[in-house]
Amino acid sequence: MTSPSSDTASVVERTRPVAPGAAVVAVHFLRTTAAFVLAEEALLLVPAEGDARRVDIHAGGILCAAATGEKILTGGDDGRVIATDAGGTVETVARDARRRWIDRVAPGPDGAVAWSAGKSAFVRTAKGAERSLDVPSSVGGLAFAPKGFRLAVAHYGGVSLWFPNAEAAPDVLDWKGSHLGATFSPDGRFLITTMQEPTLHGWRVADRRNMRMAGYSAKVRSIDWSAGGRWLATAGSEQMILWPFQSKDGPMGKNPLMLGAMPSRVAVVACHPAQDVVAAGYEDGLVLLVRIEDGAEIIAKRPGKAAVSALAWDAAGGRLAFGTEDGEAGIVDL
């Protein structure tokens, strides 16, 4: 493993600095506006032109965030789910009746929203109907299937596949251990979870065949699908680990691709929306752009004082936003 060499290409000079004033826990683009999610209370909305704007949304810590492209969903330790648009309009989507922490949020089809509190998962449909499901342990992750109205709810011992509009009990995919996050492949054929251990687990949904994806030096906290779902890029080691999903068997029986090896561990990954390029943020503050085809690297941010905690591309793939644990942030114009 080596640090980027002095002759590695760089786009650092194209960065628009942003001063969020607090740790950044997530970042998303709402069309052309970058929304930096701060650890406490607020978002910082940074339009493509004009000044940044702070919007207070929670009375306390912000624990989770997800985006639809039009709005950003957040959950807080104040027991509320909030939706905020690029103009700063704030809507309370839900309040937990027992004011439990909102641990996970996920946008669904046709304006549906899912969230979790403790051992309960909730869905609000586009028409305002609300459904709930209790699972054996605290909810670890939520993910809507790309087709149909079905929600994966990760928890200890596996994942419950739930049709909120049906009366039937959910279908459970079993695997021992604590499942902390969930994602469907873009074609819906595979379901992958991150785990408490330094590993991923997966199932081919049609026949429930298991996949165990190991080789990490730490818990995997960030994963993302490449354009077209051909690769699953993952953090959790001193290089990006990309699992192949081009064939009907996905990564079963195949070795992953490893790119961007550095002395520091990869903390967060974000795939370009159209090209086979991945942005990797490292624990030493480095942000690297890596082309999957040949491993070519471009520096987007040089190492700093704190780990990269958030990365996001805009929909056109022309801008990359980043944030760190100590509140350094910026938008790179590519």
Q: What is the pLDDT along the chain (334 residues), one digit of tens a residue?
A: 457 766 789 999 999 999 999 999 999 999 999 999 999 999 999 999 999 999 999 999 999 999 988 999 999 999 999 999 999 999 999 999 999 999 999 999 999 999 999 999 999 998 889 999 999 999 999 999 999 999 999 999 999 999 999 988 999 999 999 999 999 999 999 999 999 999 999 999 999 999 999 999 999 999 999 999 999 999 999 999 999 999 999 999 999 999 999 999 999 999 999 999 999 999 999 999 999 999 999 999 999 999 999 999 999 999 999 999 999 999 999 9
Nearest-5° Cα angle at 318, 317 to 324: 85
Q: Please return the burial class of 9, using the count of CB atoms within 10 Å of its CB with bins 0-12, 13-18 and 19+.
A: exposed
Characterize 197-213 residue by residue with b for buried, 16 or more Cβ atoms within 10 angstroms of its Cβ, and e for exposed.
Answer: eebbbbbbbeeeeebeb
CATH 2.130.10.10 fits 1-89+215-334, yes or no: yes
How do the domains of the chain map onto residue ranges?
1-89+215-334
Q: Report the predicted TM-score, pTM, of the whole model to 2 decimal places.
A: 0.95
Whether residue 331 contacts residue 44, with contact meaning beta carbons closer than 8 Å, is answered with: no
Task: Copy the structure tokens of residue 73.
Answer: 């969903």
Contacts of 159 (CB under 8 A, 6+ apart): 152, 153, 172, 173, 179, 182, 191, 193, 203
For residue 78, the one-letter residue type is D
136, two tokens: 């054996």
Q: How many CB atoms lie within 10 A of CB 99?
A: 12
For residue 76, give both structure tokens: 């807080």
Please state, in angstroms and rounded to a whole number, the distance separating the CA atoms of residues 326 and 331: 16
